[in-house]
């Protein structure tokens, strides 16, 4: 009896010590791995700004380290294999976190990535010429069915998230398209008649939309874009899913929930800061906070959806 009591007491003490240690987290600087080149994109800049604003909230420095390579898989794998103690986290986009995993091209699974939360969505949309005989997904599908024509889509690559999402939209809406892949997609493919539709960042077409030479068909974002507040999202146009080229924070699998929650709380406050909000307004990036459980649920849904789309396209590694 005394031995059982002693063992129980030791276990309780260990549990209390562990909880106390987590309550004091963080006790040293945190490393944030970004699996892309430094300051190469607005995604890198927004991740750095969020990290900077998290510093005073956590009372410790978040050291940002860029580790590019392998289409962002190298840095992501390093983060996923780190000690799950909250002192190594990563800023990831939907590509290395979900779509590339679905394609079977990563050494980790989505279960190896512990979501802290999403905080940003890149402002992409599907655009068309201003005189196109359709204005949204519904009228595009109706035009395609009534004329028997397949719209030509200019995109950045068949396996990219925006293109996979467009395949998903077309399947749900009941039309198909011909495609042309470019290293860079902008207004030119539409204006010179090479394509009927183009997947583009809002910055490359906003001028044409304002002067009427171009139009937005649907926003590939989680919410309305400030630059085009009247352009509806995929869900608003009747689809039963959202499309977002998102960025979020992650930790290795097994990181204590108390640590995840503390990091998410800091991330949420950082997103509300003037510095982050100002950059959002300047760049067009949508910033928001989506919690760890909601992020995990969205990732799981996206993973299954991408697998469904990728299979017929031959994009899943055997």
What is the C-alpha to C-alpha distance for residues 315 and 310, in angstroms, rounded to an integer? Answer: 5
Encode burial over 212-245: b for 16+ CB neighbours within 10 A, e otherwise.
eebbbbbbbbbeebebbeebbbbeebebeebbbb
What is the C-alpha to C-alpha distance for residues 284 and 65, in angstroms, rounded to an integer? Answer: 25
Name the residue ranges covered by the structural domains of the chain: 30-122+245-313, 124-220
Strands 88-93 and 30-34: parallel
Does residue 9 carry a pLDDT above 80? no
Handedness of CA 48, 53, 56, 57 (dihedral sign): negative
Identify the pLDDT of residue 4.
Answer: 57
Does residue 7 carry a pLDDT above 80? no
Backbone angles phi, psi at 126, to 5 degrees: -100, 125
What is the C-alpha to C-alpha distance for residues 276 and 46, in angstroms, rounded to an integer? Answer: 7
Does residue 19 carry a pLDDT above 70? no
The first and second tokens of residue 296, run together, are: 């995990």
CATH homologous superfamily of 30-122+245-313 equals Bordetella uptake gene, domain 1 (3.40.190.150)
pLDDT tens sequence across 85-136: 999 999 999 999 999 999 999 999 999 999 999 999 999 999 999 999 999 9
Q: What angle do CA 57, 61, 67 make, to 5 degrees?
A: 125
pLDDT tens sequence across 32-63: 999 999 998 999 999 999 999 999 999 999 99
pLDDT tens sequence across 240-285: 998 999 999 999 999 999 999 999 999 999 999 999 999 999 999 9
- The 8-class DSSP code of residue 233 comes to B
- The 8-class DSSP code of residue 236 comes to G
Does residue 158 carry a pLDDT above 60? yes
Asked whether 305 and 168 are in contact (CB, 8 A), the reply is yes
Decide if 30-122+245-313 and 124-220 have a common fold.
yes
What is the average pLDDT across 303-314?
95
Per the document, the length of the chain is 318
pLDDT tens sequence across 162-212: 999 999 999 999 999 999 999 999 999 999 999 999 999 998 999 999 999
Element (H, E) at 109: none
Q: Which residues pair with 118 in a beta bridge?
A: 248, 290
Backbone angles phi, psi at 103, to 5 degrees: -80, -10
What is the C-alpha to C-alpha distance for residues 117 and 283, in angstroms, rounded to an integer? Answer: 21
- The pLDDT mean for the chain works out to 93
- Runs of H (alpha helix) within the chain: 2-23, 42-58, 73-80, 94, 100-102, 137-147, 161-173, 188-191, 206-211, 257-271, 274-283, 292-313
- Comparing C-alpha atoms, which of 241, 195, 204, 206 is closest to residue 220? 241
Does residue 1 carry a pLDDT above 70? no
CATH homologous superfamily of 124-220 equals Periplasmic binding protein-like II (3.40.190.10)
């Amino acid at each position: 009896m005394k031995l059982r009591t002693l063992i129980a007491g030791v276990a309780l003490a260990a549990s209390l010590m562990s909880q106390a240690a987590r309550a004091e987290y963080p006790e040293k600087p945190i490393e944030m791995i970004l699996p892309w080149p430094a300051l190469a994109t607005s995604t890198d800049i927004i991740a750095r700004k969020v990290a900077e604003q998290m510093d005073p909230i956590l009372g410790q420095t978040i050291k940002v380290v860029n580790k590019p390579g392998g289409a962002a898989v190298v840095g992501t794998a390093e983060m996923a294999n780190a000690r799950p103690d909250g002192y190594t986290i990563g800023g990831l986009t939907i590509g290395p976190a979900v779509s590339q995993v679905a394609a079977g091209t990563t050494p980790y699974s989505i279960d190896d990535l512990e979501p802290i939360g999403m905080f940003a969505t890149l402002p992409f949309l599907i655009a068309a010429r201003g005189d196109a005989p359709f204005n949204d997904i519904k009228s595009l599908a109706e035009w395609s069915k009534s004329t028997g024509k397949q719209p030509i889509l200019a995109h950045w690559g068949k396996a990219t998230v925006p293109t996979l999402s467009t395949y998903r939209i077309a399947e749900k809406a009941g039309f198909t398209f011909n495609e042309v892949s470019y290293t860079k997609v902008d207004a030119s493919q539409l204006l010179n008649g090479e394509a009927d539709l183009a997947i583009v960042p809002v910055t490359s077409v906003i001028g044409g939309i304002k002067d009427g030479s171009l139009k937005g068909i649907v926003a590939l974002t989680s919410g309305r874009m400030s630059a085009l507040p009247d352009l509806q999202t995929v869900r608003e146009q009747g689809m039963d899913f959202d499309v977002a080229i998102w960025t979020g924070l992650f930790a290795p699998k097994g990181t204590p929930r108390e640590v995840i929650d503390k990091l998410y709380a800091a991330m949420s406050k950082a997103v509300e800061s003037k510095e982050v909000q100002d950059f959002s307004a300047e760049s067009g990036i949508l910033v928001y906070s989506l919690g760890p459980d909601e992020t995990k649920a969205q990732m799981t849904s996206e993973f299954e959806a991408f697998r469904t789309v990728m299979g017929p396209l031959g994009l899943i590694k055997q």
